[in-house]
Amino acid sequence: MRFEIVTIFPGFFSSIFENGILRRALAEGLIEVGIHDLRNFTHDRHRTVDDRPFGGGEGMVLKPQPLAEALASLGIEPKAQRAQAQSAPPQVVLLSAQGRPFTQALARELASLDRVVLLCGRYEGVDERINELYCDQELSIGDYVLSGGELAAAVVVDVIMRLVPGVLGNEASGEFESFGVADAEITTDSEGVPRSQHGAGGLLDYPHYTRPAEFGGLRAPEVLLNGDHLQIRRWRREQQLRKTLANRPDLLERATLSQEDRKLLESISEEDC
């Protein structure tokens, strides 16, 4: 899978792609990333990418012409022409605080594509005609305003690449993290145990502990130390329910819950009263 990032700050991404799983995924050729400096598509001495907004007001706006040329250099036509010309066109994404919320579900959709182009805004944003003419979607990484789309693009690449087959050591591990696939989509593991019993399944992940067993006056939960896998699964499921109820009760409405889960939730809620 290939990502193309269009930015006025190409240097921003160097440390991001030189560390951790991203670096390994790139080195192993599981993903490719092209960083494209928007200033290379300007034609004046000052390499100007922005201009004052029509209608007045604060700040500057990224001009449409360099963005259109950057996209053309990547072989990307305006949408109207693309529809006829290409059978599997790349997805062009505008990073924007006004976009649809970027979620794990959306990341799964994007991870199935061959090529995703990410346009990073700056200043007050991008001339809206670029959005209308070229962008398939506008994505926001959260309800706050960043100073540029670069951080958002890095987040989007990081989340998607973890879902590309082969990137995570254990192919299935992404499935069982917070926001993993809903229980209904999870079948059984190699031992025939329903994965929903130990996967995130639309809930938040359970808490994790490692050695030492005693730290800062706190002992890791005894159940995790005793090696009883059935008890461990049950404890983890209960912790998922507790965490989700405490931090993201909205997720419970969409999660597929068993009778046992519902009973547990009731007793957790009663405890809190």
Q: Which residues bind ligand SAM (CB under 6 A)?
A: 95-98, 120-122, 124-126, 140-142, 144-149, 152
Measured CA to CA, the distance from residue 263 to residue 107 in angstroms comes to: 32
The smaller minimum CB distance to ligand SAM, of residues 31 and 120, is found at 120
Total Cβ atoms within 10 A of residue 252 = 16
CA-only gyration radius of the chain, Å? 23
- Measured from the CB atom, the residue of 25 and 152 that comes closer to ligand SAM is 152
Structure tokens of 99? 């976009």
Choice between 49 and 203, CB closer to ligand SAM? 49
CB of 249 to ligand SAM, least distance (A): 23
Strands (E), the chain: 2-7, 32-37, 50-51, 61-62, 91-101, 115-119, 137-140, 214-215, 218-219
Nearest-approach distance from CB 159 to ligand SAM, in angstroms: 13
As to burial, measured by CB atoms within 10 angstroms (0-12 exposed, 13-18 middle, 19+ buried), residue 124 is middle
Token pair, residue 94, equals 């505008």
Query: Closer to ligand SAM at the Cβ: 125 or 180?
Result: 125
Secondary structure (3-state) at 86 = coil
Closest CB 141 distance from ligand SAM, rounded Å: 4
Q: Which residue is nearest to ligand SAM (CB)?
A: 121
Q: At what angle do helices 229-247 and 259-272 cross, to 10 degrees?
A: 60
Residue 125 sits at the vertex; the CA angle it makes with 119 and 126, to the nearest 5 degrees, is: 55
The C-alpha torsion from 227 through 229 and 231 to 232, rounded to 10°, is 80
Spatial distance between the Cα atoms of 99 and 122, rounded to a whole number of angstroms: 15
| Exposed/middle/buried for residue 118 (C-beta within 10 Å: 0-12, 13-18, 19+) | buried
> In the complex with ligand SAM, which residue's Cβ is closer, 21 or 146?
146
Q: Which is nearer to ligand SAM, 146 or 252 (CB)?
A: 146
Least gap, CB of 222 to ligand SAM (angstroms): 42
Shortest distance (Å) from residue 148 CB to ligand SAM: 5
Min dist CB 61 to ligand SAM, Å, is 9
Cβ proximity to ligand SAM, 54 vs 144, nearer residue: 144
Min dist. Cβ of residue 52 to ligand SAM (A): 14
